Amino acid sequence: MAASTTVDSDLSPRMDQAGQSGPDAARTASSVAVPVGPRLHFDQIIQRSPVGMALIDADGLYRAANRSYCDLYGWHEDELLGRSFTQLFAPALRPTMLQRHRSFLAGEGSLDGEYDLQRRDGSPVSVLTESVRLAGDDPGEVHRLVHVVDITVRRRMEMTLADSQRFVQSVLDALSAHVCVLDDQGMIVAVNQAWRNFCQANDGTPAKTQEGTNYLAVCELAALSGTAQAPEAKAFAPLLREVLEGRRAEFQFEYGCPSPEVPRWFVVRVSRIAGSMPGRVVVAHDDVTALKLAQQALQQREAALLDLTASIPGAMFRLIARGGDRTLTYVSPGVEDLLGLTPEQVIADRGVVLRGIVPEDQPAYEASSQAALQNLHTWEVEFRFRLPDGALKWIHAKASPKPGERGETMWTGVMTDVSERKRIEAGLRHSEETFRTLFETVAQGVVYQDADGRILSANPAAQRILGLTLDQMQGRRSIDPQWHAIREDGTPFPGEEHPAMQVLRTGQPVRNVVMGVARPDQRQVWILVSAVPLQRNGQLEQVYASFEDITDRVRLESELRLQATTDFLTGAANRRSFMARLEAEFERLRRHADMSSCVMVLDLDHFKLVNDRHGHAVGDAVLRHVVQLMREQTRRLDMVGRCGGEEFAVLLPDTRGDEAMVLAERLRERVQQCPLELGDLRVEVTVSIGISPMSARDASPEAAMLRADQALYEVKHLGRNALHLAPAPPARSAADQ
């Protein structure tokens, strides 16, 4: 036997005939020498490749296409060959694409990129393509080799993500509060419409506080400006920095804001979204100008209280406390709109307000009132109030004490409706919970890795798919050999080629990579992995890797491939796959006339008697037994196929006729010496074997099979349980060629 062979692809004959030379030819050579042991043929590699490949001539017609390419567009290769590649495009685009194709072959322009095409059945498909030019058969003739990858799912996910982002933005824009979201460096990543409108109306330069602006830097610059707002900015900026750095969860701050018309005051609530990765901080501004103006008016002109309270929102009140007695002396008319009670009702029955407070909020209301009365400090509380018509409002109440002339304490305060603010706060909490819930509940596994590739965080789906807890995953890297990652063909998947590690090296996203990973419970799980870089200030900081469990799909595809090429009863190759392999071997011999191969045809002698005497179940067992013996006597590169009932064939690449005779005799003796034993039943069987060399001089691969059949006939004619070698075919004349 020869020590090595040459393996070829289905596309390689056409590429080889194109006359390519030079360094590129070395990379696209039609064959490579590999050891005799475990090796694969290029036709199997290309046909099973998940990347679609096709060869297109200068007229735009297909010359060759692999299985992935045909499956992607719903065509069989025999139907696709000779057709124009423009059939995949919408009719209006076909002339343009054909012209671009010809320009590309002429060395002008590029055809690489993403395209929206249509399958044979008219359904849409999105693909990522790359094209290279190959020399043709004739001088000056050029073909295009195109590689395509299905990105339909990725495009659909991108559209879904865009829809989700638009939905979140629409929720923010619906809020009346001025809201922005910061990253943990203080950079604005999102603002709502109320924020934009306010900036435009009051500052006139919205670009200073739009997305991409560093809000922390703006605040710190204001603190150094020497303007009227500098003191407030000096107090606000350090607190904001503490939240951004995670040293403080939240804070509330009141400040004044310049306006072309009147001064305005706001309460800003800054809070960090718990568990957000990367960190996010929400800044929400509530306009408290009306309340602030009311407080200033009370301080400046207490005597004008009665005139002012009727015009401000909410309800003003005054309470006199002397010893244990408390008496309401005034309630503004606004209490009717606020609580649905007249001022007279509230003054006459102070308990009417307490009875309207929902029971769950009454203890806090009473406790705060008692503490303020005893300690004479500002009283402030928020509670839910049930109106007489059943409606529910959130009320904010605040009052300040002032000593009276006769030893009493005068409490002057205001109650306002903060239901809208509470609704906004609830909406913000819901938004925060939504972001957190998406990470926690999405069906795909999600993993964050730092710039060194170490896992920082993983969602529950990732833990479930990989069979590891978060504690077990944290700190591990994709290059860790404990993953035992493999490719679809069973070869090791180097950790350096993991999508996350590729992103760390290149800074570019990597999409839809299939790999098998070993779980701690010894199960193999197949995942489809994508990874994208997360950058800050131009530096790659983290990698976001997502994956889905495609174990069932991979196993089904493997099973379907096996069923399509294997005889169900014996496990040998079926006739179709055997003839395809025979065709490929014949093409190899035609390119390398100095090489030799043989084909054997075997028939079980008097097999009908086995079925007649013992039944078909025993006959089936005999067939499986003989196939097992044949596999034990042949090499891994040889192919055993079942051609009919009890007729088998064996393809012997890189084998001369005399070598085939030695193997056939060894096989014949082995079958004769190893009868099938089923309990007490012993079934002896022999085989007759016809052998024929294959030759590039043959008109077709079937010619060698025919000679082997004729040799088998000779063996049967002479008595069976023997073998016969057919002569090699004569040299073909010039006329035959």
**Pairing, β 455-458 against β 445-450:** antiparallel
- The residue-averaged pLDDT of 414-443 equals 77
Residue 95, pLDDT score: 94
Residue 180, pLDDT score: 86
Q: How far is CA 69 from the centre of its chain?
A: 22
- The number of residues in the chain equals 737
Residue 736, pLDDT score: 52
Q: CA-to-CA distance for 59 and 371, rounded, in angstroms?
A: 91
pLDDT 10s digits, 472-529: 888 888 888 888 888 887 789 888 889 988 999 998 999 999 998 989 887 889 999 9
**Residue 183: closest CA among 248, 273, 269:** 273
Paired with 5 in beta bridges are 34
Q: Is the whole-model pTM more than 0.75?
A: no
Paired with 454 in beta bridges are 477
Long-range CB pairs of 681-686, under 8 A, 24+ apart, other chains included: 681/614, 681/618, 683/610, 683/614, 683/618, 683/622, 685/604, 685/605, 685/607, 685/610, 685/622, 685/625, 685/626, 686/604, 686/605, 686/720, 686/721
Domains located in the chain, CATH noted = 4-150 (3.30.450.20), 157-287 (3.30.450.20), 291-422 (3.30.450.20), 442-551 (3.30.450.20), 566-725 (3.30.70.270)
Among 295-299, 406-410, 429-433, 585-589, name the one with the lowest average pLDDT. Answer: 295-299
Does residue 669 register a pLDDT over 80? yes
Cβ(271)–Cβ(281) below 8 Å: yes
Residue 27, pLDDT score: 35
Residue scoring higher pLDDT (169 or 385): 385
344, 432, 646, 684: which is the annotated catalytic residue?
A: 646
Q: CA-to-CA distance for 472 and 89, rounded, in angstroms?
A: 49
Residue 308 pLDDT level (bands cut at 50, 70, 90): low
Query: 82, exposed or middle or buried, with CB in 10 Å at 0-12, 13-18, 19+?
Result: exposed
Cβ(65)–Cβ(55) below 8 Å: yes
Q: Give me the percent of the chain exceeding a pLDDT of 70.
A: 84
**Pairing, β 142-150 against β 597-604:** unpaired
Residue 311, pLDDT score: 62
Does residue 619 register a pLDDT over 50? yes
Residue 32, pLDDT score: 36
Among 1-10, 332-341, 600-609, name the one with the lowest average pLDDT. Answer: 1-10
Residue with tokens 């090796």: 39
Could you give the angle at the alpha carbon of 668 between the alpha carbons of 667 and 672, nearest 5°? 115
HSE toward the beta carbon, residue 298, CA cutoff 13 A: 19
Copy the structure tokens of residue 659. 């070598």
646 tagged catalytic: yes
Query: 714, exposed or middle or buried, with CB in 10 Å at 0-12, 13-18, 19+?
Result: middle
Residue 650, pLDDT score: 94
What b/e sequence results for 217-253 when a residue is b if at least 16 CB atoms lie within 10 Å of its CB, and e otherwise?
ebbbebbeeeeebeebbeebbebbeebbeeebeeeee
Q: CA-to-CA distance for 197 and 329, rounded, in angstroms?
A: 42
Q: How many CB atoms lie within 10 A of CB 582?
A: 22
Q: CA-to-CA distance for 434 and 420, rounded, in angstroms?
A: 20
At residue 286, the 3 state secondary structure works out as strand
Q: CA-to-CA distance for 236 and 474, rounded, in angstroms?
A: 36
Q: CA-to-CA distance for 615 and 608, rounded, in angstroms?
A: 10
**Residue-averaged pLDDT of the chain:** 82
Among 299-308, 359-368, 398-407, 560-569, name the one with the lowest average pLDDT. Answer: 299-308
Q: CA-to-CA distance for 344 and 142, rounded, in angstroms?
A: 97
Copy the structure tokens of residue 275. 């568990």
Does residue 581 register a pLDDT over 50? yes
Residue with tokens 């085939």: 660
What is the DSSP track for 96-156? Answer: HHHHHHHHHHTT-S---EEEEEE-TTS-EEEEEEEEEEEE-SSTT-EEEEEEEEE-HHHHH
pLDDT 10s digits, 152-211: 888 888 777 666 666 666 666 666 678 888 988 889 888 888 778 777 766 545 445 678
- The residue-averaged pLDDT of 99-107 equals 92
- The residue-averaged pLDDT of 453-458 equals 90
Q: CA-to-CA distance for 78 and 208, rounded, in angstroms?
A: 62
Residue 172, pLDDT score: 65
Paired with 132 in beta bridges are 145
Does residue 31 register a pLDDT over 50? no
HSE toward the beta carbon, residue 619, CA cutoff 13 A: 15
Does residue 227 register a pLDDT over 70? yes
Cβ(485)–Cβ(492) below 8 Å: yes
Cα R_g (the chain), whole angstroms: 41
Q: CA-to-CA distance for 204 and 186, rounded, in angstroms?
A: 22
Residue 653, pLDDT score: 93
Does residue 365 register a pLDDT over 80? yes
**Residue 499: closest CA among 528, 521, 530, 476:** 530
HSE toward the beta carbon, residue 444, CA cutoff 13 A: 15
Among 111-125, 225-239, 536-550, 693-707, name the one with the lowest average pLDDT. Answer: 225-239
Residue with tokens 């009052």: 399
pLDDT 10s digits, 248-299: 889 988 877 666 566 777 888 898 887 777 788 888 877 777 777 766 665 6
Copy the structure tokens of residue 148. 């395509």
Cβ(336)–Cβ(347) below 8 Å: no
Among 16-20, 528-532, 648-652, name the one with the lowest average pLDDT. Answer: 16-20
Helix axes 607-614, 616-633, angle to 10 degrees: 140
Q: CA-to-CA distance for 686 and 657, rounded, in angstroms?
A: 22
